[in-house]
Amino acid sequence: MMDQIIPTLLSAALYLLAGAGFAWRHVSGPERVPWRHLLLAAGWLGVIVHAFALWQTMGAAHGLDLGFFNAASLVAALMVLIVLLGALRRPVENLMVFILPVAALLQITNQALGSDAATITRFPAGLEVHVISSVLAFSVLSIAVVQSLVLAWQDHRLRHRQPGGIVRALPPLREMEQLLFQILWLGFILLTLALASGAAYLQDIFSQHLVHKTAFSIAAWLLFATLLFGRWHYGWRGPTAIRWTLGGFATLLIAYFGTKFVLELILGRG
């Protein structure tokens, strides 16, 4: 047990340290807090330790434990990894201020509340594509939600002529919107791949235990497709884009974690 607790606490501490550092950097300005590379290094070390702790929790002799809390922790680790990779080319530290503390919380919650009875999953040949693309799609679209919330807050502050504090350190609204739709396109492509591979490799995607997940996933795909079409054809932006992003993600959240929550934590099924 201790060999799982120590990496979990270490990774959570590194996430919180890096997140607090980036928040301080935004408030005080890069000139007063010039430790971007050290903060990124803390984030990278945190996600490496997180992956080690997660493998200890998820790994099993006959498959993977993809229970509710393990799955949430896995998504958190992938979100951190994707944002850290994005930081190699773009200034996305504003996302880390929100994502790193959430990742720390989900990791600690997994350690505290994760079931000792593993929900073991073995994947038939070819189904790995569906599983990997599904988790990646959810992770990327989770980042899009964080970006949309930051954008909404930035837009609200600017509309009310309050451009000080963290808002001053954020990129211009146009750049923030461009980044949002770049993230949305990546997530949409991955979600399309997840649905297509699921249809190809699962015997019956509308079977009783999959019908709700499938229906909500398709509904989420349609919402994101509508948003991207609206952006391309009608130039949707601002509050409209934010509402559609949140609506699509809420539907996808119900598809995956809503189903897992009901089946595993309420009905007690693996």
End-of-domain residue from the set 122, 148, 178: 122
Residues 70 and 181 in one domain: no
Residues 239 and 262 in one domain: yes
Six token digits for residue 248: 């699509």
Terminal alpha carbon distance of the chain:
23
pLDDT at 262: 60
Six token digits for residue 171: 């990129």
How far is 211 from 92, CA to CA, in rounded Å?
Answer: 37
Six token digits for residue 2: 């201790």
Which residues in 11-38 are b (16+ Cβ under 10 Å) and which e? bbebbbbbbebbbebbeeeeeebeeeee
End-of-domain residue from the set 90, 122, 154: 122
**pLDDT tens digits in sequence order for the chain, 270 residues long:** 556 788 999 999 999 999 999 988 887 877 777 788 999 999 999 999 999 988 887 765 455 666 778 888 999 999 999 999 999 888 788 899 999 999 999 999 988 876 555 555 565 656 778 888 989 999 999 999 999 999 998 888 888 776 666 666 677 888 889 999 999 999 999 999 999 988 877 665 555 556 778 889 999 999 999 999 999 999 999 899 999 999 999 999 998 877 666 655 555 555
Residues 26 and 110 in one domain: yes
SS3 121: strand
Residues 118 and 227 in one domain: no
How far is 31 from 120, CA to CA, in rounded Å?
Answer: 50
DSSP class of residue 205?
T
DSSP class of residue 119?
-
Residues 265 and 146 in one domain: yes
- Total domain count for the chain? 2
Helices (H), the chain: 2-28, 36-58, 68-86, 93-113, 127-159, 166-169, 173-201, 211-234, 238-253, 259-260
Q: Which helix (H) or strand (E) holds 88?
A: none
End-of-domain residue from the set 122, 149, 167: 122
Q: What is the pTM of this model?
A: 0.86
Residues 71 and 198 in one domain: no
Domain boundaries, position 77:
1-122
